[in-house]
Amino acid sequence: MQTDLAPGFPANPLGIPESTGRRARVALTRLRPVLARHARERIVAGRLDAELWPAFERRLERHFPDLYGHLLALYAGRDDIAHHTERLLLVALDSWLARPAELQRRDADREGTFWYTDHTLVAGVCYVDRFAGDLRGLAERIPYLRQLGIGLLHLMPLFAVPPGQNDGGYAVSDYRQVRPDLGTVDDLRALATALHDAGIALALDFVFNHTASDHRWARELRAAPAGAVDDEDQNPYLMFPDRTVPDAYDGTLREIFPETRSGSFSFDAELGRWVWTTFNSYQWDLDYTNPGVFVRMAGEMLALANMGADVLRLDAVAFTWKRIGTGSESLPQAHDLVRAYNALVRIAAPAMVFLSEAIVHPDEVVSYIDPAECPLSYNPLQMALGWEALATRNTSLLRQSLSHRLALPPGCAWLNYVRSHDDIGWTFDDGDAGLVGINGFDHRAFLNRFYTGRFDGSFARGLPFQENPKTGDARVTGTTASLAGLEKALTEEGPAEVDLAIGRILALYGVAFALPGMPLIYLGDELATRNDHGYRADPDRAGDSRWANRPAMAWDRLPLTQQAGTPEARVNEGLARLTLLRRHPAFAGPATTVLDPGDDAVFAFVRRTGDDAVLVLANWTERPVALPAQVVTAALAVPQVTDLLGGDDWSSDAGTITLAPYQQRWLTTRSIVRD
């Protein structure tokens, strides 16, 4: 929070230095009686626990200065900030008073802790319908999730959406209604309770850059008198009467979905306005320069918290604030926006934390990661460069990039993943690429060709997504198994290629599990699930190749995990072993040193916590590799070690340490793994 002289404040005739901290204290002094009276009335009327107000007041006292400081950074020039701040705190208070008792107990247990940094946590992600049919069906699969070792379950968007196209659920029509085919809000609350009872935290999406064009707010705007579109109290969206301002913006904005349309604005004939639509014409961007929008969305956010969410994934966080002459991504105000919401959550639902979804330049990714902003973040660099190293059979860019981009502030953690519901974008830094002799533009073009099977010798069977003919940019979609070569090996090749494909799958997941952070399994990957090409037969999905990597869970193939030698069994067993061995005490802390093993085929790093250390050696190629013994002895300072993955011992007397194609070794002097 800013504590120096605030330039937006008039000079103080008493000579008292003005700062956001002082203004926050003054504001809270005025607001506290209003809030206390409101709390007493609600507690008496609802026969609630009288201690609810003191608990809220204690956290309000602690976190309001941060909240108010960020609100001032966003809205200091407005004359209605006091009005909106009061409304905001009343929303937070009502949410706290309505918060289920079991979640309030969770708040008390977790407040001030970094529970999400526990190194034994493994995350899973799925679409409810694709995984289990509906919410009740998913509840029945909790034993399966526990068997996999899942400790955090992210459910892809499950709230009401428009009929037809809805961007995979990211066009939300109602944040407080579950899609009817998935169940009800009561079903979601019951699932959250069941997950918590099983020791599994719940992650939900907070889609807060935009709503669906049929959201209640949009419908009310269409039904209102003509002047409502220009009234910020009635119109929460970014709209323009003609192309003058949109054209000024479009000159510096990148196109997110160029296959769908050109530009970032769509004309709504009914309202006679150009609407800001960053992603699709049916997703209307919200206007956060209006503090009333901040208050509206705060209510939706806290409603998700009270449904049982432990983690909120902040969708499209980089796009929330716009300014002419910029790319309107990752502007300073976007950070103030998230930090203000974070402070509000610390007051009204402190058990919940934010997960940043900022798939942007690595420097921008890390800018969102902080306990006061988003303590959890996807690790898109680790994801993209794992695939890059497989394609090139060279780990130099992976090593160069992660050697200085892994460290995070205390109390924060990466979410390491191999693939997602979305696409793969090659978001590495061109400066890092240049240091290892790679031209970034040309290399991205190569990777797109390689993973869409357009490069001779490619093992991948991915699909292109949103190719931009003007820039040559594109992304890639596909399941882990199909991108790693298993689809091609099973349909076009033979057992040797199947072995290599399984090696690639486990190489990617092995590094995701061994690096600092929480590993994430896209559910279905544990069954080596291949692309679902049937999406092309669905008119609402045919134009979106991402549906190829969102296949329905193949429960009929689950018995194959018990048949030795099948791809399903080998991948399933490999992931189970990674989940178990990750409990080794060396992985408890974040300390990681990336090494140069002297052979670019191998990615090497040391994880260390206290006296415990694990040296990870990962062969990223289909050829065997022999490294000199000094690689091990220099890293661990001992002549004899045990390979956690292989179970065998190694001595420096051997002179070299060998790695089979795509083999990983997790070498340590202490093979004890906590149950």
Q: Is residue 608 pLDDT above 70, yes or no?
A: yes
Tally of structural domains, the chain: 3
Tens-place pLDDT, residues 584-594 = 999 999 999 99
Give the tokens for residue 497.
Answer: 């290629």
In the predicted model, what is the mean pLDDT of residues 461-466? 92
Active site residues: 315, 357
Q: How confident is the model at residue 670 (pLDDT cuts 50, 70, 90)?
A: confident
Tens-place pLDDT, residues 287-305 = 999 999 999 999 999 999 9
Tens-place pLDDT, residues 517-562 = 999 999 999 999 999 999 999 998 998 999 999 999 999 999 999 9
Which of 246, 261, 285 is the C-terminal boundary of a domain?
Answer: 285
Tens-place pLDDT, residues 408-459 = 999 999 999 999 999 999 999 999 999 999 999 999 999 999 999 999 999 9
Q: How confident is the model at residue 3 (pLDDT cuts 50, 70, 90)?
A: very low
Q: How confident is the model at residue 1 (pLDDT cuts 50, 70, 90)?
A: very low
- Greater model confidence, 360 or 371: 371
Nearest-5° angle of CA 141, CA 146, CA 152? 95
- CATH code, domain with 55: 1.10.1740
pLDDT at 257: 82
Which of 87, 110, 133 is the C-terminal boundary of a domain?
Answer: 110
252 assigned to some structural domain: yes
616 assigned to some structural domain: yes
In the predicted model, what is the mean pLDDT of residues 1-10? 48
Q: Please enumerate in sequence order all residues whose Cβ is within 8 A of that of 481, keeping only pairs 6 or more positions apart, or say none.
A: 487, 501, 505, 525, 528, 529, 530, 567, 571
Give the tokens for residue 95.
Answer: 């949410």
Mean of per-residue pLDDT scores for the chain: 94
Are 322 and 59 within 8 A, CB to CB?
no
Please state, as a whole number, how many other Cβ atoms lie within 10 Å of the Cβ of residue 650.
19
Choice among 18-27, 81-90, 109-118, 361-370 with the minimum mean pLDDT: 18-27
Are 451 and 426 within 8 A, CB to CB?
no
3-state SS assignment for residue 69? helix
45 assigned to some structural domain: yes
72 assigned to some structural domain: yes
Q: How confident is the model at residue 77 (pLDDT cuts 50, 70, 90)?
A: confident
Residues of the chain above pLDDT 70, percent: 97
638 assigned to some structural domain: yes
pLDDT at 486: 97
In the predicted model, what is the mean pLDDT of residues 148-159? 98
pLDDT at 255: 86
656 assigned to some structural domain: yes
646 assigned to some structural domain: yes
pLDDT at 226: 84
- CATH code, domain with 268: 3.90.400.10
Burial 488-518 (b: 16+ CB within 10 A, else e): bbbeeeeeebbbbbbbbbbbbbbbbbbbbbb
pLDDT at 12: 63
Residues forming beta bridges with residue 518, ordered by sequence position: 415
- CATH code, domain with 650: 2.60.40.1180
Residue in the structure block whose two tokens are 């694990």: 614
Q: How confident is the model at residue 5 (pLDDT cuts 50, 70, 90)?
A: very low
Q: Report the run of H or E that residue 89 belongs to, with start and end.
A: helix 81-98
Annotate 214-233 with DSSP letters as a single string.
Answer: TSHHHHHHHHS-GGGGG-TT
Q: How confident is the model at residue 16 (pLDDT cuts 50, 70, 90)?
A: low
Q: Residue type at 41?
A: E
Residue in the structure block whose two tokens are 């929008």: 293
349 assigned to some structural domain: no
Which residue range is the domain that position 636 belongs to?
Answer: 585-668
Are 74 and 291 within 8 A, CB to CB?
yes
- Report how far residue 167's alpha carbon sits from residue 173's, in angstroms, rounded to the nearest whole number: 12
Torsion angles phi and psi, residue 603, rounded to 5: -100, 125
Q: Is residue 11 pLDDT above 80, yes or no?
A: no
Are 622 and 662 within 8 A, CB to CB?
yes
Q: Is residue 673 pLDDT above 70, yes or no?
A: no
pLDDT at 262: 80
Is the whole-model pTM more than 0.85?
A: yes
Q: How confident is the model at residue 467 (pLDDT cuts 50, 70, 90)?
A: confident
pLDDT at 471: 77
In the predicted model, what is the mean pLDDT of residues 254-268? 86
Q: Which of 301, 219, 229 is nearest to 272 (CA)?
A: 229
Q: How confident is the model at residue 260 (pLDDT cuts 50, 70, 90)?
A: confident
Q: How confident is the model at residue 14 (pLDDT cuts 50, 70, 90)?
A: low
Are 255 and 264 within 8 A, CB to CB?
yes
